[in-house]
Amino acid sequence: MRNLFTVGVSALLLSAPYAYAQTAATLGDIVVVGAPDLLADFLKVSLTVQIGTPLSQVNPIAVQQEALATGFFSSVAAELTTQGNRPILRLTVVPNPTVADVTVTGATFVEPAQIKQFLEDRLNIASGTVLNNARVEESKTLLQQAYRENGFPFSPGVSAQVTSGQNGATVAYTIDESAPVSRVEVTGSTQLSAEFIRNTFRPLVDNKSFTLPLYQGAVQAIGNAYNERGLGGFIDPQASELSGGVLRVVIRERRVGQIDTSALGTLNAPLQSRSGELLNTNTLAQDIRTLANASGKAVGVNQQIDPSDPARVNLAFVTSDQATGPINEVRIAGASAVSPGDIAKVLKVRLGDVYTPQLAQEDYLAIQRLYRSRGFEVLTQAPGRTPIRYENGVLIYDVVEPRLAGYQIRFEGAQVTQERVILRELPEPGGVLNINALRQAVQNNVGRLGFVVPVAEQFVPDPNNPQNVTYVLTVREQRTGVFTPGIAYDTINGFSGEVGLSGNNLFGLGHAYSFNLTAAPSEIGEYLSGSASYTIPWLDFNFLDFRRNRTSLTFGLYSNANSNNALLDTSAGNVNTGRQYTERASGFSVAANRRITSNITAGTSVSTQYSYFRLEPVPAAGSEPGGPASDAAAAAALPPSSLTTLLSSNVNFDNVRYQDFPTSGVRASGSAGYGFGYQGGTGLSWTQYEVGARTYLGFGQTLGDGNRQQALAFRVNAGTIVGTAPQSRFFGVGGSEQSERFTLRGYDAQSMAGKNFVTSSVEYRYNFNVNTSIAQGIFGVAFVDVGDAWTSGQDFNLNVGYGVGVQLNLGLGNFLLPSLRFDYAFSPVNPGGKFYFRLGNFF
């Protein structure tokens, strides 16, 4: 209670005169019981009644309320009594506890430490002071006012909760800086269109709620747009306001006020700047050049904001005593990231001009803007380097380019991932620092590893050599294990179940693994299917360029049963026998992929598969015209078992930016393979070719991440087998397949098979822009699929399916869950529609 000391002394001084003025009908003394002397003295001088007040005017109930209103007491009891034949007012009080701590959460516009200092300076709410409930209530309004006075577009929600503990009370402030945003209104702009400004703030509207980074980003973008035009324009923070969901943006455009050239004497040099016109840095630079060339001296201009109008700028042209002369040569030194020819295009100085430092500085700023537009930076201060020099008629711009000296990885919380797993995803150090390329690598490479999340970055210059910069990246580990249990039931097949386990950061090296086991009803005992895979995403050993260039290796093992396949008699022209069979395919595969360029990868693989076929029992009578074939006849049509090996190579191109919801770019792939083996006693040999391409067209609103809200996606895939291949290696088309190249919704899974296939899809996709702790993305889809699989030319038929779908991208905190895709499709063979469910993202 530092502020109470003076008040307490005043109370003692004031009480003396009243003591001599006592009469029988007046108050003789005020006694406070239960409070320290300092607080008791404060209470005495705070009351309306004082010593000497007529007793008829002393109301104990009113005194109690007045004492409580000071905010320092939790209870007050007042009574009139006598002591030593004098009437006294006795107040029995229970003071509030001492403040043990003050906390602030939710504040991003103002640092919590600054808010705490504000509370201490203005209201004496700080650790060690007596809790004052009234001032705590008052502080809410003062904080809201302070936010608005400092340019926040609305008064935030402020709550304060007081909790008592053994060491005192804790005052916990919560600042709610959110507010709904439904539309943007613009006034005051003559140089930027209202549509441009509204689109700049569009991420706020799309987000439907105010967030400070989006707002500040839009404000900065508006300022940059004016700067790029050479104009002075800004958003008036006090006049702009968010109220009722409407963000009212008020633009101020700086204009020229008074123009003073008296310091240059009498010059016959017309100026382009005019009082009342928009302030234009390009025009101002031309005026500086004109005056410098006319006077033969270095000329500058002082700009001063008019006190009566912050949008009005008064100009005073002055001369400098700095050595000057004509510019005979302009030299660019130190530039390597941007060519001197490109730099020369942004310079305003011309050969023959009188050297003027202010104009040269403007040119240096133009060089900085050019560098920043390409992701680079320019240092203005470096030991032993002078950015601008004029020597013997030569104007030298010395460009100091920061260089990426190295990296430092910090972990927020426990560390699991080895640092080199992150470092190999970043650009090689040693070159010129390109912030855009670096951040793109963090977003697209590190951010998509799936087991760490970038949370903060920092550029730290070397104290001894500021040109060398260390990039400090802070990441947070994610839990990566995904356990996927599932159970299903239908009236035809009964119960089926599936269990899966996968992860992508084994040993902290980014190694991925997956195990899947499925149990399904089977009339012949083929109940179980399973698969396992293991991927080393980067062969990180010190040989050739393996540590610099990504090379991955994947091992796979599987044994899958596929039941209820229609048995066709190939000897009779693919006649349906009315019987069904189960195929079990078991095998293993090894695949290697290597990055060729940033957008191109190439790979090779080998897979060996053993397949056998078992006849299923006769279905219900009458299921086929003429009845099903007998066991003997069906067994004769059953394909013999096969053992085959396929060697293949592939090339893939991908320049898509937004992986979760692609709106631009192309993905293309091509593969060729050679297969051989045996089926029964027959030797097999074939070649296999596949090609595919996908592209995307984004449109509609721009969301907070810069991506569009709607997209059209186009896909086409085709393949052919030349030679003799077993039926188990044929292409199977139909259903909603994990591999989109065989997808044809509206039909049963792999209901079409053959040595050739072609499929195509067109999808309209809509991003509902939902991002919560569980639903990290909800997307609506409408689609059309076409395609077929066939063996001979006369078998080709263009099958069409169409429908709608929903995709859910799920997560629970840092626990990753697979994307869920639900589709409902129609086709001529399923006019009532067919439902599909699968795991995985968009094609």
CB atoms within 10 A of CB 425: 19
- For the record, the structure tokens of 408 come out as 């430092």
Q: What is the dihedral of CA 366, 371, 373, 379, to 10 degrees?
A: -90
The tokens describing 143, both together, are 């904080």
Instruction: Kindly state the tokens that stand for 715.
Output: 């896909």
For 412, the 3-state DSSP assignment is coil
* CA nearest neighbour of 682 among 568, 570, 567: 570
Condensed to tens digits (0 to 9), the pLDDT of residues 539-552 reads 988 888 888 888 99
CATH 3.40.718.10 assigned to 403-477: no
Token pair belonging to 1: 């209670």
Alpha-carbon span 371 to 381, nearest angstrom: 16
Q: Could you give the CA distance from residue 96 to residue 39 in angstroms, rounded to a whole number?
A: 11
Provide the 10 A C-beta neighbour count for residue 51: 22
Half-sphere exposure (CA, 13 Å, Cβ side) for 46? 20
Q: Does residue 41 sit in helix, strand or coil? A: helix
Would you state the structure tokens that stand for residue 307, as one six-digit string?
């006190």
Distance CA 629, CA 637 (A): 10
Angle, alpha carbons 99-100-105 (nearest 5°): 95
Q: Is 244 left (phi over 0), alpha (psi -120 to 50) or beta?
A: left
Under DSSP, the state recorded for 119 is: H
Q: What is the fold of 183-253?
A: Ubiquitin-like (UB roll) (3.10.20)
Helices 112-123/133-149 angle, 10° precision: 120
Dist CA 420 CA 441 (whole Å): 15
Q: In what order do the strands lie in the sheet with 255-260?
A: 255-260, 309-320, 298-306
Residues facing residue 145 across a β-bridge: none
Give dist(CA 822, CA 838) in Å, integer. 7
Which SS3 state, helix, strand or coil, does residue 788 take?
Answer: strand
Domains 183-253 and 254-321 agree in fold: yes
- 449 three-state secondary structure: coil
d(CA 420, CA 405): 16
- 699, 661 contact by CB (below 8 A): no
The count of C-alpha atoms lying within 13 angstroms of the C-alpha of 351, restricted to the half-sphere facing its C-beta, is 5
What's residue 625's pLDDT? 52
Query: Check: CATH 3.10.20.30 for 254-321?
Result: no
d(CA 741, CA 602): 19
Token pair for 740: 């989109």
Q: What is the pLDDT of residue 490?
A: 55
- Lookup: tokens for 277: 């016109």
On the CB side of 490, CA atoms within 13 Å amount to 5
- Residues near 836 by Cβ (< 8 Å), separated by ≥ 6? 735, 736, 745, 805, 821, 822, 823, 824, 825
User: What's the token pair of residue 74?
Assistant: 């939790």
Which helix (H) or strand (E) segment is 358 a member of? helix 357-373
Q: Is the pTM of this model over 0.75?
A: no
Q: What pLDDT is stored for residue 702 in this prediction? A: 80
How do residues 512-536 score in pLDDT, each as one tens digit? 999 999 998 888 888 899 999 999 9
Distance CA 760, CA 783 (A): 11
Quick one: pLDDT at residue 15? 41
Q: Are strands 29-33 and 86-95 parallel, antiparallel or unpaired?
A: parallel
- Quote the tokens at residue 661: 């919801």
Integer Cα distance of 130 and 358 in angstroms: 57
Residues in the chain: 843
- The letter for the amino acid at 311 is A
Token code pair at residue 559: 């044994």
Residue type, 326: P
What the block records as the tokens of 107 is: 């504040």
| Integer-rounded Cα radius of gyration of the chain | 39
Residue 594 burial (CB count, 10 A): 17
pLDDT at 279: 93
DSSP 475-530: EEE----EEEEEEEEETTTEEEEEEEEEEEEETTTTEEEEEEEEE---TTS--EEE
Provide the token pair at 179: 């507010």
> Please, where are the H alpha helices in 201-280?
202-207, 212-228
The domain at 325-400 falls in which architecture?
A: Roll (3.10)
Domain boundaries 4-95, corresponding CATH code: 3.10.20.310
Spatial CA neighbour of 662 closest among 566, 779, 743, 559:
779
SS (H, E, C) 305-357: EECCEEEEEEEEEEEECCCCCECCEEEEECCCCCCHHHHHCCCCCCCCCECCH
Q: Residue 335's closest CA among 325, 322, 344? A: 344
User: In order along the chain (843 residues), what is the average pLDDT of each group of 10 residues?
Assistant: 37 38 70 88 89 89 89 89 88 90 92 93 91 91 93 94 90 94 93 92 88 91 90 91 95 93 85 92 90 90 90 91 89 92 91 92 91 91 87 93 95 92 92 92 83 90 93 89 71 73 90 92 88 93 84 95 80 77 93 91 96 83 60 86 95 87 93 94 94 94 80 96 90 85 90 92 92 78 95 83 91 61 92 86 81
Contact 502, 512 (CB under 8 A): yes
Pairwise CA distance, residues 461 & 377, whole Å: 13
DSSP conformational letter for 783: E
Contact 317, 261 (CB under 8 A): yes
Q: How many Å apart are CA 295 and CA 266, to the nearest integer? A: 10
485 beta partners: 499
Q: Where are the domains of the chain?
A: 4-95, 99-176, 183-253, 254-321, 325-400, 403-477, 504-639, 653-843
pLDDT number for residue 817: 64
Query: How many CA atoms lie less than 13 Å away from 107 in the CB half-sphere?
Result: 21
Helix (H, G, I), strand (E, B) or coil at 589: strand
* CATH code reported for the domain at 99-176: 3.10.20.310
Class of domain 653-843 as given by CATH: mainly beta
Helix and strand numbers (H, E) in the chain are: 14, 38
3-state secondary structure (DSSP) of residue 626: coil
Q: What is the pLDDT of residue 562?
A: 83
Amino acid at 801: G
Task: Give the DSSP letter of residue 444.
Answer: I
What are residue 164's DSSP bridge partners?
169
580-629 pLDDT, tens per residue?
Answer: 889 899 999 999 999 898 889 999 999 999 999 999 888 655 444 556 77
Check residue 634 and give left, alpha or beta (phi > 0: left; psi -120 to 50: alpha).
Answer: alpha
Of residues 369, 363, 452, 456, the one with CA closest to residue 414: 452
